[in-house]
């Protein structure tokens, strides 16, 4: 089975699928995140994160 990268618009508490797919990439680690497992994202930056670990790295890196 071939996986396809999805294109999303991240909203507060949800996301909109712009282009159908199976996964998105983590903005920090580059890991594939299956849409059914996608729980962490930033609305302002429109980025997805694999886990709270990557979220923490992102915020520490940018001093938010």
pLDDT one-digit tens code per residue, 19-62: 999 999 999 999 999 999 999 999 999 999 999 999 999 988 76
DSSP string, 1-64: ----B-EEEEETTEEEEEE--SEEEBTTT--EEEGGG--EEETTTTEEESSHHHHHHHHHHHT-
pLDDT for position 15: 98
pTM, 2 dp = 0.89
pLDDT band (50, 70, 90) for residue 1:
low
pLDDT for position 24: 98
């Amino acid at each position: 089975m071939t996986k396809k990268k999805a294109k999303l618009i991240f909203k507060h508490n949800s996301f909109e699928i712009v282009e159908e797919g199976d996964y998105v990439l983590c903005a920090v680690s580059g890991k594939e995140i299956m849409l059914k497992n996608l729980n962490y994202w930033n609305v302002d930056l429109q980025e997805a994160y694999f886990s709270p670990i990557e979220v923490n790295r992102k915020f520490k890196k940018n001093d938010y």
